[in-house]
Structure 1
Amino acid sequence: MSSSSVVVVTGASSGIGRVAAEMFVARGCRVFGTARDLRKAPALPGVEFVEMDVREEGSVQAGIESIIDRATRIDVLVNNAGMMMIGAVEETATAEAAELFDTNVFGMLRTTRAVLPYMRQQRRGRIVNVSSVLGVLPAPYMGLYSATKHAVEGLSESLDHEVRQFGIRATLVQPAFTRTNLDANAPRARERIADYDRERDLVALSVADSVNSAPEPHGVAGTIVEAALGPWRMRCTPPGEASLLTKLRRFMPAGPVDASLRKKLGLGAS
């Protein structure tokens, strides 16, 4: 993929998406960053911001069409926009689960469907879907978030099989916790069941500690840029904890991995 590629990064107003957009600019790309509200997207040199809400079909179509009008093509789509939530599965209302899926999965589907006709016409393209290590290693009290990322994993593999005939490839980036507002400000499920209080609070505290000690977004953003512009790989994992956890999941027996995860979260071994 050429360094002069036209790149679209969703959720580019802050965090990983903003740093990735900046890195694409440094690589000589023409970069469009999307944000739900342009008033909350501080200017970034070299990045052209487009208002787009991935939860709204019309907003996505209008945003992508405006980019095509300006750049005539899209070479790379980075599906980065997402949200997180902490809560027991039993505490999570269907409406809350639907909101998570609407952003993390259906939002990705909307942007991908909007971009693919142009990529098919030009017979090239790269789609980078930001997943999570929780897409391969689910954690307690993040069940619905993990479910969305498992869906992203399956969708992306199927998509890659389907579009490679057109010179397009899809790939996944699987970060661990990163010091961003998404992780730090993760909301909790609104319904609280007292029986879960002790463990849920332990997990929430562990997540907060992990975020506070996590690296800045640059490592994940750099992995996104390489996944977009470098040789194709189905899964790209940032160095550090994310790489370690995915290897543990793949090569270690389930029992020790389960015990290690519960210990890290401050839960009992049972």
Structure 2
Amino acid sequence: MATTRPVALVTGASSGIGKETARAFVAAGFEVIGTGRKTSGLTPPAGVTYLDLDVASDDSAIAAVGKVIDRFGRIDVLVNNAGIGSAGAVEENSVAQAQNVLNIDVLGVIRMTKAVLPHMRAQGGGRVINISSVLGLVPQPYMALYAAAKHAVEGYSESLDHEVREHGIRVLLVEPAYTKTSFDTNAAQPDTPLPLYAERRRVFDEVITDAMKAGDDPAVVAKVIVAAATDKKPKLRYAAGPLATRMRMLRRFAPAIAFDKGIRKFNRMPA
């Protein structure tokens, strides 16, 4: 059954940024479909329809988009929010673990985007909003896999935006900093831990825990995502929150040596 209201599909909407984003789209007048790997037994926010989706599966991505089109007749906004964090030194992450993180955080974005683009092109427009991170712009020791994934999403999004703009479609990036979610506790831990990194990992855990506690509320990020979806003249990149804005400015304007020292100081690493 087609709808006269715009339709937003938000992946990873069972908690955190995704759940707040689904709420924000409802408030903005959208029909909203939120996804999670297993949504049975979960209570969606008012006005949100939950749908099972595994972004690591081609078949699941295609099926989920098909169900939304069958029910609502269109998809105006896709928010690629689903993802997984990672922790540990690079030497402590196996290639198999790297493949899993990249399969979800990068190929998951690609799967969902490829699934919606034909429908958006046929309807004459749409927006794909990819949730990146300040770690798509700056390094983060002991989160190299996650940083690599977000750097990849940045390059993919900016390149794709040029390809589809003539079809009325925009591909945009929202870059949060640390946010008060369970992201850190759900991150993939190193599957081949090495004793020589144990102390560094302990310090890293403290740094990230403190940063998450002091981070932005997910509703702050959600508001920026809805702005990206509805701005008449959208920007390619949206910094979500004051810390993200500062980090982006520092990356752009701070001298390389000073920026490098700042990264090491923040992470309590030797000078």
- TM-score normalised according to structure 2 size: 0.96
Note if 1:131 corresponds to 2:132: yes
Which deviates more, 222-231 or 183-192? 183-192
Identify the residue that residue 108 of structure 2 maps to in structure 1: 107
Checking the alignment, whether the CA contact within 8 Å between 2:172 and 2:236 is kept in structure 1 is yes
Note if 1:224 corresponds to 2:225: yes
Identify the residue that residue 251 of structure 2 maps to in structure 1: 249
Checking the alignment, whether the CA contact within 8 Å between 1:14 and 1:41 is kept in structure 2 is no
Whole-Å Cα distance in 1 between the matches of residues 47 and 221 of structure 2? 20
Cα shift at 1:186 = 2.1
Gaps of 5+ in 2: none
Equivalence map 1:60-209=2 (5 Å): 60-209=61-210
Whole-Å Cα distance in 2 between the matches of residues 209 and 255 of structure 1? 25
* Cα-to-partner distance string for 1:195-239 (whole Å, 9 max, x where unaligned): 112222211210011111212201111111101111310100012
* Cα-to-partner distance string for 1:81-118 (whole Å, 9 max, x where unaligned): 00001111111100100010011000011100100000
Checking the alignment, whether the CA contact within 8 Å between 2:177 and 2:241 is kept in structure 1 is no
Amino acid at match of 1:250: R
Aligned length: 267
* Cα-to-partner distance string for 1:40-78 (whole Å, 9 max, x where unaligned): 532211001111111111111111101000110111000
Identify the residue that residue 211 of structure 2 maps to in structure 1: 210
Cα shift at 1:4 = 3.5
Identify the residue that residue 236 of structure 1 maps to in structure 2: 238
Whole-Å Cα distance in 2 between the matches of residues 43 and 239 of structure 1? 25
Amino acid at match of 2:138: L
Amino acid at match of 1:206: V
Superposed CA RMSD in Å reads 1.2
Identify the residue that residue 15 of structure 1 maps to in structure 2: 16
The secondary structure found in structure 2 opposite 1:59 is helix
Cα shift at 1:28 = 0.5
Gaps of 5+ in 1: none
Whole-Å Cα distance in 2 between the matches of residues 252 and 117 of structure 1? 41
Whole-Å Cα distance in 1 between the matches of residues 149 and 188 of structure 2? 16
Note if 1:57 corresponds to 2:61: no
Whole-Å Cα distance in 1 between the matches of residues 187 and 178 of structure 2? 12
Distance change >3 Å, CA 254–CA 227, structure 1 → 2: same
Q: Give the % identical residues.
A: 45
Identify the residue that residue 264 of structure 2 maps to in structure 1: 262
Checking the alignment, whether the CA contact within 8 Å between 2:216 and 2:241 is kept in structure 1 is no
Amino acid at match of 2:242: G
Amino acid at match of 1:245: M
- TM-score normalised according to structure 1 size: 0.96
Whole-Å Cα distance in 2 between the matches of residues 41 and 118 of structure 1? 29
Checking the alignment, whether the CA contact within 8 Å between 2:84 and 2:188 is kept in structure 1 is no
The secondary structure found in structure 2 opposite 1:39 is coil
Checking the alignment, whether the CA contact within 8 Å between 2:83 and 2:105 is kept in structure 1 is yes
- The runs of at least 4 aligned residues of structure 1 exceeding 4 Å deviation read none
Whole-Å Cα distance in 1 between the matches of residues 81 and 260 of structure 2? 28
Amino acid at match of 1:258: D
The secondary structure found in structure 2 opposite 1:178 is coil
